[in-house]
Amino acid sequence: MKKVYLDNNATTMMDPEAYEEMLPFFKEKYGNPNSLHDYGTQTHKALRNAVDTLYRCINAGDMDDIIVTSCATESINWTLKGVYFDKIYTGEKDHIITTSVEHPAVSATCAFLESLDTKVTRLGVDGDGQIDLNELKNAMTDKTALVSIMWANNETGTIFPIKEAVQIAHEGGALFHTDATQAVGKLKVDVKDVGVDFMSFSAHKFHGPKGIGGLYIKDSIKLTSLLHGGEHMGGRRSGTLNVPYIVAMAKALDNATKFIEMENVHVRRLRDKLEDALLSIPDVAVIGDRKYRTPNTILASIKGVEGEAMLWDLNKAGIAASTGSACASEALENNPIMEAIGADVELAHTALRLSLSRFNTEEEIDYAIDEIKKAITRLRSISSTFAYTPSWHKSGL
Amino acid sequence: MAKNTLIGGSIWDEYSQKVQDRMNNPLHMGEITEEEAEEKGLKLVVADFGAESCGDAVRLYWLVDEKTEIIKDAKFKSFGCGTAIASSDTMAGLCIGKTVTEAVKITNIDVEKAMRDNPDTPAVPPQKMHCSVMAYDVIKAAAASYKGVNPEDFENEIIVCECARVSLGTIKEVIKINDLKSVEEITQYTKAGAFCKSCIKPGGHEKREYYLVDILAETRAEMEKEKLEAIANAKTSDSGIDMSFEELNTIGQFKAVEKIMDSEIRPMLAMDGGDLEIIDIKKDEKGITDIYIRYLGACSGCASGASGTLYAIEAVLKENLSPNIRIMPI
């Protein structure tokens, strides 16, 4: 059976070159990079190169910090809680602005800070999953400590106008954080150009290893530590450095960004082919204009087909996808992102998310199109809410 | 939170083979038309339950022999996840051959059990139990349609735990009868909260109208109030104390003791110019209730206060209230 992986917004396969790059640091080059002996200096050099690569790939400056963390969730928690301790706990400010479609790492942390009497404003989104900058302007107060808006949405792929949002936040005297988990490696990310103060990312979303990520901090801005301890990472985040993963993350990021424009042409073409095929099926809708989405993402609503049932059939055909359907997760509450988009409640139950990577091939997409059509046909024939139309079934669907 | 719940995911691994087979190849999926019913001389019943916007919807078709009320054939259509499709298919199968009245007795637990590969292993993971509930509800809708009655006629209780079909009334009754003090005990007695656990407290995978933690707290509060009322009533009752002395709270015990003192003991002491007052009432670890008293008037210097009079007071209280009473003069 063929295997096609179309769940790259959840996680990605490791870049083979990044994998090879990290292996020596498990067995031969295992020295602590902070040690003075040869074992240490050997890994220290590799670490230095990896750090230089990370800075180069996102265009961070020498006065900026990129702190290695365990994942974007940690980076996000650190930023939000750090700003809370620096600006809100002190009484200087009392307000955070975010959106209603953030990843739980942001939304749950904001809810936690709300329980500590922080005021939180959540910007809504339209049917395309896009925010309104005027809403952001109106939400700003002189007590706003932080604006946290994701760079691109994990479910819809919608890209947010980060640069303009940063300007609004800064004009209002607030710091700006972006969760760039779905942007780094998929879009050109230039931190100097957009001017963000903090940016979170995870390596496993751009073909690096799981369990490592980073936090970009502009111009060494003060941020109370989440982990206190020794002097690692300039004292900002303690804990012995995970050299193999840092080296692999840097290699994966380097490979993901080196030819990003060219790779995106390939990914976008395959995504559009898959999307066009889906849209040719009656009663299928795709959320958001594809021009304003990450090039790899499709969020489709397939009338009459419940999300988990769809995943079941696709999995039988060797295709990995994802769904915003509550039934496919452990919690049966509706996905808040689906609810925020809000135009059609069915979306929460009939959504199918297909997310590609540069490793997907044309042949895989052709196979996926066939199998998706078969699954839709079967499940609609069972469906009590879809008027099954044999005519288009016979015509090839 | 515990070891088995720390790592989530992989709910499909917990689907029985029967669930998987029914999902892949449902046996009773389809529709039945009026023409087919007419041809066979049977009555067609069509019932719907749920909606796509809620995430689950099912349509049930029955062919019923009106002379015997036996369901001759059943088919379904379903919008829902794998478990919902498998449950609907199993439910339709269970209906065939039963009378409409018998079919109404099919519960979601019957459907889930019918999908088990072996009797002791659930067919689906706990959070998927609710998908079989819909099957239960659509049968009620079909039967109501056939009999021309309201579906609520078959189900007029508030169901707190849909997985185990346990009603609010049952839970409250069990708490009161067995003096239950924890949700774990409720689960042991009723199975409510044993499956998907959504009904235990807010924050589970599905919002519920009633939660076991609240029902327990409210019922315990009701029990406490009833107890206080009983104590109050016991005090005013002319026929004396109608609760056991041990069941009373301290104030109730004080009042009960005072009552006996006034009616039986003080008149006796008054004959010799004496009296007493109650200082405190304490229960020790062995269940003995110590009543601390102080003699007043002539009794306060009387030698008999530590012997004969003391035994007499203790005997009267033991006889009237509880054999576990001890008098402690100070």
Q: How confident is the model at residue A99 (pLDDT cuts 50, 70, 90)?
A: very high
Which of B95, B119, B152 terminates a domain? The answer is B152
Rounded-to-integer distance, Cα A367 and Cα A372, Å: 9
B161 has binding-site annotation: yes
- In a 3-state reduction of DSSP, which class is residue B288? coil
B186 and B298 assigned to the same domain: no
B21 and B102 assigned to the same domain: yes
B122 and B221 assigned to the same domain: no
Q: What residue type is A328 in one-letter code?
A: A
What's residue B233's pLDDT?
Answer: 72
pTM for the whole structure: 0.79
The pairing of strands A119-123 and A95-99 is: parallel
Rounded-to-integer distance, Cα A320 and Cα B211, Å: 37
Q: How far is B23 from chain A (nearest CA, A)?
A: 9
Which residues in chain A touch residue B54, judged by CB atoms under 8 angstroms apart?
Answer: 349
B134 and B161 assigned to the same domain: no
Interchain pair A384, B84: CB under 8 A: no
| Span B57-72, average pLDDT | 95
ipTM above 0.90, yes or no: no
Give the residue, B216 or B255, on which the prediction is more confident. Answer: B216
B52 and B10 assigned to the same domain: yes
B299 has binding-site annotation: no
Interchain pair A304, B52: CB under 8 A: yes
Q: Is A332 on the interface with B (CB under 8 A)?
A: yes
What is the CATH number for B161?
1.10.10.1100
B261 and B140 assigned to the same domain: no
B69 and B32 assigned to the same domain: yes
Q: How confident is the model at residue B302 (pLDDT cuts 50, 70, 90)?
A: confident
B254 and B204 assigned to the same domain: no
* Separation in Å, CA A17 to CA A20, A42, A256: 5, 20, 11
By CA distance, what is B83's nearest residue in A?
A: A309
Q: How far is B13 from chain A (nearest CA, A)?
A: 12
User: Residue A389: pLDDT above 70?
Assistant: no
| Span B191-214, average pLDDT | 85
Give the number of domains in chain B.
Answer: 3
Rounded-to-integer distance, Cα B182 and Cα B329, Å: 40
Q: How confident is the model at residue A390 (pLDDT cuts 50, 70, 90)?
A: very low
Q: Read out DSSP for A281-336?
A: STTEEE-S-GGGB-TTEEEEEETT--HHHHHHHHHHTTEE-B---GGGSSS-SPPH
| Span A354-359, average pLDDT | 97
Domain A16-258 fold is Aspartate Aminotransferase; domain 2 (3.40.640)
B70 and B116 assigned to the same domain: yes
Which residues in chain B touch residue A384, judged by CB atoms under 8 angstroms apart?
Answer: 48, 57-59, 76-79
Rounded-to-integer distance, Cα A372 and Cα A305, Å: 11
Q: Is A142 on the interface with B (CB under 8 A)?
A: no
What's residue A328's pLDDT?
Answer: 55
What's residue B236's pLDDT?
Answer: 47
Domain boundaries defined on chain A: 4-12+260-394, 16-258
Average per-residue pLDDT for chain B: 86
Helices and strands of chain B, counted as H and E runs: 13, 8
Q: In chain A, what's the furthest Cα-to-Cα distance?
A: 75
Q: How far is B203 from chain A (nearest CA, A)?
A: 9
What's residue A391's pLDDT?
Answer: 46
The sign one gets for the Cα dihedral B122, B128, B130, B132 is: negative
What's residue A279's pLDDT?
Answer: 96
C-beta of residue A120 within 8 angstroms of C-beta of residue A151 = no
Structural element, H or E, at residue B291: strand B289-297
What is the CATH number for B142?
3.90.1010.10
Which of B132, B152, B172 terminates a domain? The answer is B152
> What tens digit of pLDDT does each residue of B175-186 get?
988 888 999 888
Query: Can you give the residue range of the structural domain that contains B58?
Result: 1-152
B258 and B231 assigned to the same domain: no
Which of B173, B203, B237 terminates a domain? The answer is B237
> What tens digit of pLDDT does each residue of B112-168 get?
899 999 998 889 887 777 776 677 788 989 999 999 888 777 766 688 887 777 888
Q: Is B29 on the interface with A (CB under 8 A)?
A: yes
Give the residue, B228 or A179, on which the prediction is more confident. Answer: A179
> What tens digit of pLDDT does each residue of A307-350 get?
999 999 999 999 999 986 555 555 555 566 777 776 556 677 88
B32 and B110 assigned to the same domain: yes
B225 and B97 assigned to the same domain: no
* Separation in Å, CA A246 to CA A256, B236, B266: 15, 80, 89
Domain A4-12+260-394 fold is Aspartate Aminotransferase, domain 1 (3.90.1150)
C-beta of residue B312 within 8 angstroms of C-beta of residue B268 = yes
The backbone torsions φ and ψ at residue B184, rounded to the nearest 5 degrees and listed phi first, read -60, -40
B95 has binding-site annotation: no
Q: Is A309 on the interface with B (CB under 8 A)?
A: yes
